[in-house]
Structure 1
Amino acid sequence: MKKTFKFILPKVAYFEDEKHPFLTQLPGAKRNLYEDPSIQLVEEYIDYRQTILYRLQAHVPTDCIVQLKTNRPDFHLIYTKNATDDIIVQKHGTKNEIVLPHRHSTFTYIPRSKFDILLKPGNYLVYGLLIDIGLVRDIIYHHGHFLSELKNARKRDKSSLYQTALWPIKELTDYQLNRIETIFFNYSKQNEAKVVEQIYQLFDIAESKQFAFYEKLSESEILARKARTMIHDIVNQGFQEVNISLIATILSVSDAHLTRCHKRHYRQTLLQYRDEILLPLAKERLLSTYSIGEVANFCGFKYPSGFSKYFEKRVGLYPSDYIELHRNPDNDKNEYII
């Protein structure tokens, strides 16, 4: 099985000034070092016929975006063993992304494309298995099983990133990762068959974790739903600004944690959700008897100029142009972007 992903970074023979005590090189692994001012990255991997095992270590001194290129679609089983902050993998030029939090695991479908990996300052350790799609067999994993859903997601949309629900890395998973590191990174013919058995063991662990920790993992979804309810009420009541910091304070969490929880479950920011509700209301009121200033106040803006800039940025028209376009049917609509 060939390695199908590549980091777009300068490759070096060694780090002249190693900024972090990286783990000792795995004995049977191929090793690549990458470096630029924003990152030192160590990539190690070993190729078996039906899987590639890999370990990634990174030291990031400043906010960093690492470019990744894949030359075919694949399934990855990813273990984020250490991460200073969530790792965001985003399809280049889109909002399609997956999130890899500290001490959690997930199965992902990664299409053939270019990606941006968003990293905050800190240190990262990730283990992964690039898996032959043939190992996820319908006869073994029934309809509704999370692995079956992973395959179905690929069938529905081959061009988008997809990940299953997350599950925490606990003792049993740590033990299996240690086995991979100590046994399977030393290549032997006997390991060819054993590594497949190892993959199925990881599938079984993932399945049990998905159910055993469902309620615990759903706490973040409950938090995200509460935030959405509050935003929905604020927008529909009108005359109030949506203040994410205030909502986070009421829910007794940090802004960053609330934002991550919401994005993880709903694939959009809290402000994007606000816009989803607010813009239809604003458009409706602009075409009624209200003035632009009155609509601005209803939408939580102190000044009409602020509302006009907000509206134009998201709709492509200033409020006055939007009103003129829709009230005068003789206008050429092709002149506008709606």
Structure 2
Amino acid sequence: MEFAPLAKAVPLKSLTSPLELARDVLRIEAREVEALAERLDHHFTQAVALILQCRGRVVVTGVGKSGHIGSKIAATLASTGTPSFFMHPGDASHGDLGMITADDIVIALSNSGESDELLAIVPLLKRMGAKLISMTGNSQSALAKQSDVHLDAAVSQEACPLGLAPTASTTATLALGDALAVTLLDQRGFSAEDFARSHPGGNLGRRLLVLVSDIMRTGQDLPVVSTTTSLSQGLLEMSRKGLGMTAVVDANKRIVGIFTDGDLRRAFEQGVDVRVTMMQNIMRTQPLRIQPDKLAVEAVELMEHHKVNVLLVVDQQDNLVGAINMHDLLIAKVV
């Protein structure tokens, strides 16, 4: 017997334009987050206090979409000064629960507050003495009632037209997690430098951790001449060291001036004789300086403000210890 081929399913045409539907999604989610902000109360303050007192780590857990949101919240907490990691409740029931101690705090995420996987590990958490903070959309749920602190993340509607896919609810939970992380950051006095130490491989880490001393030229790589050196010999020193300049020092090795490629062009325009002119007669006095313990980004700002490409590096006694140019900063990826 032959069967007729099945007809392809034809999706129902939406009565809303794509752009208008997208705008509706964003408006709904924005509205739910705004409503969440207005509902924040003393329970949020209690959660903050509980985490600040924590001697262990914050363990975030959740199932499905809540698990994905929980993973991001854990990452945000960890990078802003609150030691944290994500643990799937299913893995917790198969050995990972051993990673939690009585000094830890567990943040459990569930929109319904009735997730079987989460409720299965709650008695074990209680038995070991770990504190439990829950974020749910149902303050009367089993998870909320068994928590030490419950944070209300309820939404009045999902952004999904079918009302099924977690959309506004996951956005609200994520925003609540961000609010918690940022509040803890502020309460701990966590600084931009602290943040950079958690992100040493990124652009921020380079900008906030790299010091002038880390990338400056020193020793034999540093172009230096005396005040009585001829301009021709000074040019040879500049050529050998490749920094586009040379520092000029007195008999006591103190900086008295600088001579750059730009100064050389101006000298040629004036018809200066490079063989007989001494550096003290052609150098620029009061060159810009920076100390080696300053951030490299400060060197960038100084160069950009004064429209120069090189800085001399000096110690507390104004002795020359190095030099740095814009090319060095580019190589170090500070710029």
Interval containing the TM-score (normalised by the shorter chain)? under 0.3
TM-score, length-scaled by structure 2 = 0.25
> What is the TM-score of this pair, normalised by structure 1?
0.25
Question: Which has the larger Rg?
Answer: 2
